[in-house]
Chains A and B, each alone.
Chain A
Amino acid sequence: AQKITQTQPGMFVQEKEAVTLDCTYDTSDQSYGLFWYKQPSSGEMIFLIYQGSYDEQNATEGRYSLNFQKARKSANLVISASQLGDSAMYFCAMREGPGSQGNLIFGKGTKLSVKP
């Protein structure tokens, strides 16, 4: 079974609108971390946001927020006020185990296109 599932291969959003990128995960660990990365056409993986499994509040970083629904095992990324520069691939990832143990497991990604 896939550990990280991103069901949206591609998404379109109008500039200045908000968009939600879906991510569900599968783990039996109690301690894990969830990550979102942005990969523009240049190829660089840019760290956006992190949510720990024990964090009670949803993580936020500027225009990015992570909608963490633990019972549903979902960790959707919400981008508010989309900008043209947000057009990129977005990867959800998970690290299982406590602290910094374990490797990152990536989803297949969602290609976001922001329309002017």
Chain B
Amino acid sequence: GAVVSQHPSWVICKSGTSVKIECRSLDFQATTMFWYRQFPKQSLMLMATSNEGSKATYEQGVEKDKFLINHASLTLSTLTVTSAHPEDSSFYICSARGTYEQYFGPGTRLTVT
């Protein structure tokens, strides 16, 4: 089946720094990629939808200036958490849409100290 990779798998950073998370679709071209956030023991919360070559569409309540999304190619989308704070600590999961399926990356656990 289709594979979506995510890098890094976990990261610890200091408050105030920025962190970039990469999401790649390895064996298919994804015109649409999604970024989710998941808190412990909760379901996935959609943060934004990104289409290749255009600006991302953010869900209500998600700060676009804080969570910068770039979908530079059909196989790569990046999420940059700018000026990270401890409350940004979470599990971030990207997803790429195929024909009808939607495949998820393995997730990135971000801890901001």
Contacts and interface: CB of A to CB of B under 8 A. Distances in A.
B106 A103 contact: no
Contacts, number: 51
A91 B36 CA distance: 14
A43 B100 contact: no
Given A50-B100, A100-B97, A103-B34, A42 B106 contact: yes
Interface residues of A, number: 21
Interface in B20-39: 32, 34, 38
A100 B98 CA distance: 8
B100 A100 contact: yes
A105 to B, nearest CB: 8
A47 B104 contact: yes
Given A35-B102, A91-B44, A108-B43, A47 B1 contact: yes
Interface string A101-116: 0011011110000000
Interface string B31-67: 0101000100011101001000000000000000000
B43 A107 contact: yes
Nearest to A109: B43
B91 A43 contact: yes
A43 B43 contact: no
Given A44-B106, A45-B93, 10 more contacts: A43-B106, A45-B104, A45-B107, A47-B102, A91-B44, A100-B32, A104-B95, A104-B102, A106-B43, A108-B42
Interface of B: 1, 32, 34, 38, 42-44, 46, 49, 91, 93, 95, 97-107, 109
Interface of A: 33, 35, 37, 42-47, 50, 52, 91, 95, 99-100, 103-104, 106-109
